[in-house]
């Protein structure tokens, strides 16, 4: 309605009304950007078993205007659902080492609950800063040789169960605290634990993301609720992104995808931080 009034009566409005017009037009442009970027959630999870939450949280917060804690709760549902679709698409169930997964999943679920409990108590500003720091670390990591060196498979293929439990707990804390699946941490660690095939590591990562995200989201939903109408649209678009990712896998250079992904991550994280510290502080 405000946008229509901007178009019909632009001259008669005062300075404050013109500002409202510009903000309304920006909101409509941002909503369009949300629908264009939403498939990227599924695309990233399909290709890398990671990155979905890193896009979903700023998309919901800065794009749709959700408060950060509600955006994190919604992101956890989106990431869990999209990971399930990606796992189904890849027939990942038959690749799972259930003995290793059991210990990793127990740690991830405990960590998800603990991280969500911390996230409920701390301020949104602190969560936004931590999220931005995590994004910058991951952007540096995936564009350096560190990730390649870390992702070398271990020589022994035995299950280091205590290490799997601790690693799962650490990734779960990040999931619950910041609303991200933690796949960029999980996949290299799985390969260090003896999961020598990358596709097998991806399958384990997707299943672990589902486990920790569902536990963390249940914890958040004790305190926060969200609007399901935009959520359903994003879930559908993210599912489309999964199938697109499966189609382009192997057809596009992974290094080019990682560079493009890094740029999108930086832009989304900076916009989310700017919105929380400038727009919400001003209001």
DSSP secondary structure letters along 56-88: HHHIIIIIT---HHHHHHHHHHHHHHHHHHHHH
The answer, yes or no, to whether residue 214 has pLDDT greater than 90, is: yes
pLDDT band, residue 23 (cuts 50/70/90): very low
Distance, in Å, from the CA atom of 52 to the CA atom of 33, rounded to the nearest integer, reads 16
* pLDDT at residue number 19: 37
Confidence (pLDDT) at 47? 78
pLDDT for 25: 44
pLDDT tens digit sequence for 117-170 = 999 999 988 998 898 888 888 777 767 655 555 444 444 445 567 788 888 899
Rounded mean pLDDT, 99-114: 90
Q: Which of 108, 95, 198 is nearest to 147 (CA)?
A: 198
As a whole number, mean pLDDT of residues 19-23 equals 41
* pLDDT tops 80 at residue 249: no
Query: Looking at residues 51-78, what average pLDDT do you find?
Result: 87
Instruction: Quickly list H helices, 221-253.
Output: 228-248
Q: How many CA atoms lie within 13 A of 90 on its CB side?
A: 31
- Asked if 40 and 48 touch (Cβ cutoff 8 Å), the reply is no
Average pLDDT, rounded, for the chain: 77
Check: CB of residue 112 under 8 Å from CB of residue 216. Answer: yes
What are the Cα distances from residue 224, in Å, to 1, 33, 72, 266, 277? 29, 25, 10, 27, 21
Q: How confident is the model at residue 114 (pLDDT cuts 50, 70, 90)?
A: very high
pLDDT one-digit tens code per residue, 78-87: 999 999 988 8
> pLDDT of 234-243, one tens digit each?
999 999 999 8
Give helix 39-48 / helix 15-37 axis angle, nearest 10°. Answer: 40
């Amino acid at each position: 309605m405000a946008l229509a009034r901007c178009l019909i009566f632009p001259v008669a409005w005062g300075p404050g009304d013109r500002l409202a017009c510009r903000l309304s037009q920006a909101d409509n442009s941002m909503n369009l950007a949300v629908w264009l970027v939403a498939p990227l959630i599924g695309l990233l999870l399909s290709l890398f078993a990671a990155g979905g939450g890193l896009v979903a949280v700023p998309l919901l917060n800065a794009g749709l205007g959700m408060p950060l804690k509600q955006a994190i709760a919604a992101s956890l549902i989106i990431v869990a659902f999209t990971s399930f679709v990606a796992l189904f698409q890849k027939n990942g169930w038959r690749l799972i080492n259930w003995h290793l997964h059991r210990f990793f999943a127990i740690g991830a679920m405990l960590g998800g609950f603990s991280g969500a409990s911390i996230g409920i108590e701390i301020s949104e500003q602190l969560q936004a800063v931590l999220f931005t720091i995590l994004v910058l670390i991951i952007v540096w990591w995936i564009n350096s040789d560190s990730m390649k060196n870390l992702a070398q498979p271990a020589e022994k293929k035995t299950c280091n169960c205590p290490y799997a439990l601790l690693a799962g707990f650490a990734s779960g804390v990040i999931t619950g605290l910041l609303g991200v699946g933690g796949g960029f941490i999980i996949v290299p660690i799985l390969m260090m634990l003896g999961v020598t095939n990358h596709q097998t590591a991806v399958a384990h990562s997707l299943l672990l993301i589902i486990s920790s995200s569902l536990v963390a989201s249940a914890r958040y939903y004790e305190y926060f609720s969200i609007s399901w109408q935009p959520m359903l649209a994003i879930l559908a678009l993210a599912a489309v992104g999964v199938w697109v990712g499966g189609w382009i896998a192997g057809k596009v250079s992974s290094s080019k995808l990682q560079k493009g992904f890094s740029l999108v991550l930086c832009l989304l994280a900076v916009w989310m931080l700017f919105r929380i510290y400038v727009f919400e502080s001003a209001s």
